[in-house]
Structure formats: structure tokens, C-alpha cells
Amino acid sequence: MPDLTPAPDAGASPAPVVDMTGISISFPGVKALDGVDFRMFPGEVHSLMGENGAGKSTLIKALTGVYSVDSGVIRLAGKQVTFSGPAQAQAAGISTVYQEVNLLGNLTVAENVMLGREPRRLGGIDWRAMRRRSAEILQGLHLDIDPGSLLNSHSLAIQQLVAIARAIDVQAKVLILDEPTSSLDGEEVAELFRVIRSLKDRGVAILFVSHFLDQVYEISDRLTVLRNGQLVGEYLTHELLRIDLVQAMIGKELSALEDLGSRIHSAEKEATSAARPATFLAAKAISRKGAIAPVDLTIGAGEVVGLAGLLGSGRTELARLIGGVDHTDSGQLKVNGVPIRLRTPRQAIKHQIAYSSENRRAEGIVDELSVRDNIVLALQADRGWFRPIPRKRQDELAASYIEALNIKTPNADALVRNLSGGNQQKVLLARWLAIAPRLLILDEPTRGIDVGAKAEIQKLVYSLAENGMSVLFISAELEEVLRLANRIVVLRDRRKVADLPNDGLSVDDLLAVIAEGSVDPELESGVAS
């Protein structure tokens, strides 16, 4: 990775309106922020960048008073501040507009803009004055919105603009926009950016949080990159190449995983790659509005297809469509050449497709159940609850998978919540293997587990593919994707940008595709640099 020394300020910059120095926050067992410095200048758009777990949300919550800091200092307009909550931060001039608009759809636009600050007359609300003041605020942002219309009669984009108008009316010095474009189309994004530039011209400091690289480079003046709770650096956007930004966000991590061998490019895998296996699943232009643009994807029998891209690129959204967790708005899925429609994970299971979520806590293991109960859960659901699996068979299944996957547990009756993260992940894998799927979708199966457990899971994936199971494998660690996949599909800004044979590909090759959104023809043909 090239030297990413932060660029000096252009010219004589004004004093920062936000200056956070040495911010550290710890939770039980986790150092969320470790001595992070962060600053924002008036009249600038500043993007906060980093992958999942980098510390972005924690830093914002520290700034807005949701979290108190363990150490460090926060200054606003040169004065040291300590906020006890978001209301106090807002009163001081820091407003946040979240991805999920936090307004009241059953009230009018004017009522939402002035909520809690309604003008009064003769002991009641002065409705005429409220509509007049709201109209002035909206006009100041060049927004043609009827203040008397109900908020929920407008699109999400308009609702976000109304939320921004409300933030400006409370005299915001700092405006935080958390994933404001995640559900907007191109025209709506353009309108939002027009408003952002208008606020920038008025001297407001704007924190723009987004996973869309093109948008970040279009609207941002300055970038701060976090990784694993630590500051990587602050950069002027126009001086930082996209590939350098991606490398700064992802980083490179050396670990004992390399003991697995030379990236599993053995003779057996090369032979598999040379002769493309028969297609098990074919997706044609499948999409979901606000989640992912139309995508074509094929997965062969016994093939491991990796999904690569930054957080927010559409990896999980695509996996959830194929796994039946979310339904498609358009396009077609085929299994063994036969069209299918998936509306639920259970329907996917009927077609021998199993989806293992990245969120094993909320959508995976059931804390209150035993290891045995967690392992047989999907199989029992597939059979139906009126056809219980005999206890002897449950014991046999649990014992078999505990041994096969080397699950470290006192016994099958132990509560799964008492196991380590790596062993919980193995229990979750055992659950899906018990239903004998033809396609196993693994979304971040090695996140948050130790190196030893990670190596065992990677070996298992390779073994399953050798025995004919198809695997769709998602990981934020590009080295891991390269180590396991026969082919790698690259996503960026919720669009597919490449489908590459893993024949000599390197991390730098993938970083270049992710950063630029295009691919060298030699890579697509399987001739890697």
C-alpha cells in the first residue's frame, strides 16, 4: 500500500468548528475507538469512511452525546463541550439526519419543520406564522414544497430534505447526514447535493456518511478514514486516489491463515476452474429497488463464487435475494434450468438453497437454545413442527456435526450462548449442512472469530465444494475471498461491475476494480497481471 500521508490544508483554513482529540471509547471486550482525532471545518463537506466495525457510528455518537468518551476532548467552535445527549448537542448546533427519517409522517411539512418550536399566539399555536416561517426556511433552500401538505404524501427524498430544513432552522453549525442517499434515485441525489452545496455556501460544516464512492468524491472536500477503531488519516478528497482510499479502508492483515497453503490454487482447483461446472443456479437481471440494481449471476455445481466489494456495495442484498430472505422486484431465478420464485427462506430451502446471515446474533443462533436444538432447527422447520425429529436422531445429528466441525462444547445440551464466537458460527454452519443444501450462501462466516476457527471454516468451505456443494461466499477480507473462490463477482455502489476467474488474481487487482468500477479486459479473460 502506498504512503498515505495526510495532505496539508489548502491555503489558510479557518479554525475547525469541530475538533475531537484523542477520543477513546471501550465496551466490554471491545475497544471501539482508540485515540481518534477528528475535525470539521465550516463550509466543508467531510466524509467519514471505513468498513464495518471501523468506529464511524461510535465517533458520531460520541460527537452527538449518545456515548460518553472514556478519554479525549471534544471542542465545538473552540470551546470544550460535554453533551449528555442528542438534544443537548442539537441545542449547541449539531443536528443529525438519519437514513431512516425521524419525523412524523401524519403531520404536515410545516409541523415537522417547527416541531417543538411552534410559534405561539394567545396561548395557542400560531398556525399562520408557523406555515409562513416554514415556507421561508424551505425557500431559503430553494425547495418548492407546500408547507401545508402531509409529510407522508412525499417521497423519502423530500422527507429527508424536510429533515434538513428542520435542522437548519435550529441554527445548526454542524449537520450530520447518515447514509442520506441509500434509498434515493439519481435525480433525488442530485437535488440533495444541490441543497448540501447551498448549506456549504452558508458556512455549515456537513458530515456526509456514505458507502457510495462516486458520491463521496462528487460532494466531499475532505475525508477521514477509520479502521478497527483507529485513525488511518485525514485527506483532501481531490488529492486522494480512489484505489488509495480503498486500501486505507481495508488495510492488509497478515495472519496464521497463510498456513493453509498457497491460496488453495492446487491442481484440483485449477482443474475445476479450467472446465466450468454445470450451472446449478442462474440469476438473470434480479433486482430490488433501493437495494441492488439488476444483476446476472451463475453458480456452478461444486463452485465457490466469491462476492467482493466494500460495505454497502450490495453483497448482502444480493445474497438475501438468492436466499429468499428478500424478494426480487424484477428478473428471474433458475435452479437446474427451471424457473423458481422465492418469497421466503423456507421456499429457498425447498430448492436446496440455504442462507447463513452475516448477523449470527439476530438472524442466526438462538441464544436460549442448546447446541443440539440449534443444529436441528432448520431441519425441524423443513419437516414441519407436527413431525418432530426423534430425540435419538437429534442426538446422532448433533454428535456427528460436533465431531465433524470440531465444535468445542461441553456437550450437546450446553446453551449455545456460552460458546465462543467461532464455535457459534460452526453450530450455525452445522444447522444448514444438516438440511443437505446444494447451494450454501455464507455471508461473512468468519467475521469476529479467532484465527484458528477461521482456518477451520475456510477448510470446510473448500471441502464442501470438492464434494459437489455450490457456495456463494461473502467476506470483507479480500485475501479470504481470493483464497477460496473459483470466480469472484465484484460489486460497487449496488451494481455488478465484474465477474472474474480467480486465475492468478491479486488483492491489488480486486482493489483496482472496486475503486474504479471497471475492469481490465485481461482480468476478465483470466489473464491476471
Mean pLDDT of 381-406: 88
Count of C-beta atoms within a 10 Å radius of residue 178: 18
Residue 76 host element (H or E) = strand 71-76
| Interval 76-92: pLDDT, tens | 999 999 998 888 998 89
- Here the cell at position 149 is 401538505
Mean pLDDT, rounded, for 475-489: 89
Q: Is 48 helix (H, G, I), strand (E, B) or coil?
A: strand
Q: Is the pLDDT of residue 22 over 60?
A: yes
At 9, which amino acid appears?
A: D
**Rounded Cα–Cα distance for residues 205 and 433 (Å):** 51
* Residue 180 pLDDT exceeds 90: no
Could you tell me what percent of the chain has a pLDDT over 70?
Answer: 87
Q: Is the CB of residue 305 less than 8 Å from the CB of residue 472? A: yes
> pLDDT value at position 275?
55
Confidence band of 218 (pLDDT split at 50, 70, 90): very high
Residue with cell 437481471: 285
pLDDT grade for 269, boundaries at 50, 70 and 90? very low
pLDDT value for 223: 95
pLDDT at 522 over 70: no
Q: Is the pLDDT of residue 253 over 50?
A: no
Residues 324-329: contacts with CB within 8 Å, 24+ apart? Answer: 324/348, 324/349, 324/353, 324/355, 325/355, 325/357, 326/288, 326/291, 327/288, 328/286, 328/287, 328/288, 329/287, 329/288, 329/289
With 60 as the cut, is the pLDDT of residue 499 above it? yes
Q: Where are the beta strands (DSSP E) in 195-329?
A: 205-209, 222-227, 230-236, 279-288, 292-300, 304-308
pLDDT band with cut points at 50, 70 and 90 for residue 262: very low
Q: What is the pLDDT of residue 263?
A: 43
**What pLDDT is attached to residue 392?**
92
And the C-alpha cell for 279?
450451472
pLDDT of res. 233: 94
pTM for the structure as a whole: 0.60
pLDDT at 527: 41
Give, in order, the Cα–Cα distances in Å from 424 to each of 367, 453, 455, 467, 476.
10, 10, 15, 24, 20
Place of cell 465550516: 42
For residue 189, pLDDT over 70 is answered with yes
Q: How many CB atoms lie within 10 A of CB 284?
A: 15
> Is 260's pLDDT higher than 50?
no
pLDDT digits over 317-343, tens only? 999 999 999 989 999 999 999 999 998
Instruction: Tell me the pLDDT band of 234, cut-offs 50, 70 and 90.
Output: very high
pLDDT of 266 above 60 = no
Q: Would residue 462 be called left, alpha or beta, if left means φ above 0 and alpha means ψ between -120 and 50 degrees? A: alpha
Strands (E), 256-402: 279-288, 292-300, 304-308, 330-335, 338-340, 353-356
User: Cα 168–172–175 angle (5° rounding)?
Assistant: 90
Give me the helices (H) in 236-327, please: 242-250, 267-274, 315-322
- pLDDT at position 127: 86
More confident residue, 388 or 192: 388
- Whole-Å CA distances, 185 to 155, 289, 491: 11, 9, 18
Stated as kind and residue range, the H or E segment containing 177 is strand 174-178
Residues contacting 510, CB < 8 A, separation 6+ = 308, 478, 481, 482, 488, 490
Q: Give the sheet arrangement for strand 279-288, strand by strand.
A: 292-300, 279-288, 330-335, 338-340
Of the pLDDT bands very low, low, confident and very high (cuts 50, 70, 90), residue 74 is very high
**Average pLDDT over all residues of the chain:** 83
* The predicted structure's pLDDT at residue 491: 93
pLDDT of residue 122: 80
Domains along the chain? 18-250 (3.40.50.300), 256-352+437-524 (3.40.50.300), 361-435 (no CATH)
Average pLDDT, integer, range 472-488 = 90
d(CA 87, CA 62): 13
Chain position carrying cell 435452479: 335
pLDDT over 90 for what percent of the chain? 36
Q: For residue 8, is pLDDT > 70?
A: no
Query: How sure is the predictor about 450, in pLDDT bands with cuts at 50, 70 and 90?
Result: low
pLDDT at 440 over 90: yes
Q: Which pLDDT value is given to residue 101?
A: 61
Q: What share of the chain is helix, strand, coil (3-state, %, to 5)?
A: 35, 25, 40
- At residue 449, the pLDDT reads 66
**Residue 523 pLDDT more than 60?**
no
d(CA 499, CA 297) in angstroms, rounded, equals: 9
Question: If we measure between CA atoms, which residue out of 348, 528, 508 comes closest to residue 432?
Answer: 348
DSSP letters for 1-39:
----PPPPPSSSPPPPSEEEEEEEEEETTEEEEEEEEEE
Q: Which of 156, 146, 144, 217 lies closest to 182 in space, CA to CA?
A: 156
- CA 104/CA 153 separation, integer angstroms: 12
Lowest average pLDDT, out of 235-249, 289-303, 416-430, 450-464, goes to 450-464
When comparing pLDDT for 441 and 123, which is higher?
441
> Please, which pLDDT band fits residue 221 given cuts at 50, 70 and 90?
very high
- Calculate mean pLDDT across residues 298-316: 90
- Rounded Cα gap, residues 381 and 385, in angstroms: 6
